[in-house]
Each structure stands twice: as structure tokens, then as C-alpha cells.
Homo-oligomer: A and B are copies of this chain.
Amino acid sequence: MSSSLVLHAVPGIPMVEPGDDLAELIIAALEGAELSLQHDDVLVLAQKIVSKAEGRYAYLNDIEPSAQARELAEQCDKDPRHMQVLLNESREVIRRRPGVVIVEHVLGYVHANAGIDRSNIRSDDDNPRLLLLPENPDRSAAQLRDTLKARLGLSVNIVINDSAGRAWRNGTLGFAIGTAGFEALENRIGEQDLYGRPLEVTEVAVADELAAAASFVMGQGDEALPLVLIRGAKLRPSSDGSKALIREREKDMFR
């Protein structure tokens, strides 16, 4: 059986401000692009717009760095206030070297700089600010799904993606930090290959594959577009969010 998948980068999402209603912005952007949402579509949102709508800013002038933050700033050649924000967002510093800090985020992701973003953020010189990850991206995704269902009468799947580096390979790649509506990690245990043998690969990170695909499309225009509509994905319904994608610390050989 053949399958195809279509991804549209959706233009028309304005600069998002704290308190903005993302569902409303998304519905307007889709209408403006003459794209009508269908049942089982996937919407992929760049983390930035979710964080901005949630007002997830930290203002550096409000931050008093601890001794630990000062030490980390020294080791990594960074602003101590920035390192304090990073420590507040992290469970553990996993690797450090000049210019790079890799942490386990409080949400469980191993992520350079705890996913904290300085680019594309309007900041006056007087009080620069950082943008943090959403407080609970699975919850944000689930709420958006519920709101779209209430307003449009349609069940869509949601992915919130971010772009980050990884071990062993150069370059950043989109990955899923929050999902709603589907199995983020598909368990194929018990399925068989063409010869009737059990599949060797038993868990597939489908949410990350979709997040990576959307990240590619987001970066394709003259400027990055933070919303991608994916049509044609066959996903397994689930209300579990994306936590299954995070490897438990004790099973991780690369900490």
C-alpha cells in the first residue's frame, strides 16, 4: 500500500505576545493560507511561539546569580545571570566546556543550554530577556488540541518541536518536546518482518520523525515559519503525551 505525506509551512502567524490565544492565531493563519484543517491532521508548532504565548521570559536584571552559576559562567564563558536561569531550568549539568553547557532539563530532555533561546527575541538593551521552554509542553499541546476541538469540532494531533544538537553528529535537528493525540513512541513489539520473524526494531520515535520533518519545512522559507500542517500521517491515538520518548536516566548509557 502506498502512502504519502504533505507538509505545509503556514504563513501568517504574527509576533506572538504573552497571553495571546494560539488557537485563534492558528485558525486565522490557516484561513489566510486557504488551508482547512481536517480530522487527524497534525499541527506542529515551534516551541518559541508556545513559550511566548505563555510569557516564559526571564529578565536578566531580575536574576541574582548563585556561586554555582558564577562558577559555571566562568567555566563556559557565559553570563552568570544566564547560567542561573539555566540552572533553574535544569536537574543536572551533564557536560560543560567553553561556549557549551548540556543539561538535563527539569522536563527530562538532555538539551544544550536547557533549550533557552536568545535569538528572535525583542529585547531592549536595558533589560535583556531569555525565552524558556514551555512549563509543560505536553499540557500545552493537550490544551491546544482541546481548544481546537471545541472551536472547530475536529480532532487534530499536536506536536511542539524544538531544534537541538545531539551526540555524535553535527547540526541541529527538530525533535518533539510535547505532543497530544497520538502515540509519540510507537511500540511495534510482536510485529513481524516479511519473513515472519519478530522485528528487531520495536520502538519508533514517530513524534521525533514528524518534528524533524516539520523543522525542515519551517526553515525552508525566507524566514522561519513557526507552524506546519501535516496531512496524511497515520498515527495511533493516545492521550499519553511525549514522556515515553525520554530515556530513563538509569537506562541511558550516555550521561
In the bound complex, do residue A193 and residue B2 qualify as a contact, i.e. CB atoms below 8 Å apart?
no
In the bound complex, do residue A208 and residue B171 qualify as a contact, i.e. CB atoms below 8 Å apart?
yes
What string of 1s and 0s marks CB contacts (under 8 Å) between A204-236 and chain B?
111011101101110111110100000001100
Tell me how many chains of this kind the complex includes: 2
When chains A and B are docked, how far (Å) is the Cα of A193 from the Cα of B221? 13
Instruction: Write out the residue numbers on chain B whose beta carbons fall within 8 Å of the beta carbon of A102.
Output: 253
Listed stretches A6-14, A62-70, A149-157; interface member: A6-14
Closest beta carbon of chain B to A37's beta carbon, Å: 15
Closest beta carbon of chain B to A33's beta carbon, Å: 6
When chains A and B are docked, how far (Å) is the Cα of A203 from the Cα of B209? 19
When chains A and B are docked, how far (Å) is the Cα of A186 from the Cα of B215? 13
Instruction: Write out the residue numbers on chain B whose beta carbons fall within 8 Å of the beta carbon of A203.
Output: 170-172
CB closest residue in chain B, given A211: B212
Task: Verify if A109 is at the interface (C-beta below 8 Å from B).
Answer: yes
In the bound complex, do residue B217 and residue A3 qualify as a contact, i.e. CB atoms below 8 Å apart?
yes
When chains A and B are docked, how far (Å) is the Cα of A49 from the Cα of B2? 18
Instruction: Write out the residue numbers on chain B whose beta carbons fall within 8 Å of the beta carbon of A217.
Output: 3-5
Task: Verify if A97 is at the interface (C-beta below 8 Å from B).
Answer: yes
Instruction: Write out the residue numbers on chain B whose beta carbons fall within 8 Å of the beta carbon of A90.
Output: none
When chains A and B are docked, how far (Å) is the Cα of A33 from the Cα of B223? 35
In the bound complex, do residue B11 and residue A208 qualify as a contact, i.e. CB atoms below 8 Å apart?
no
Instruction: Write out the residue numbers on chain B whose beta carbons fall within 8 Å of the beta carbon of A252.
Output: 167-168
Other than the given A168-B255, A171-B205, 5 more pairs (CB < 8 A) read: A5-B213, A95-B253, A120-B193, A171-B186, A210-B213
The 9 closest A-B pairs by CB, nearest first: A171-B205, A213-B213, A167-B254, A212-B212, A209-B216, A110-B168, A167-B167, A3-B220, A1-B221
User: Could you list some 7 contacts between A and B, CB below 8 A?
Assistant: A2-B8, A2-B9, A5-B220, A110-B168, A119-B197, A119-B199, A172-B203
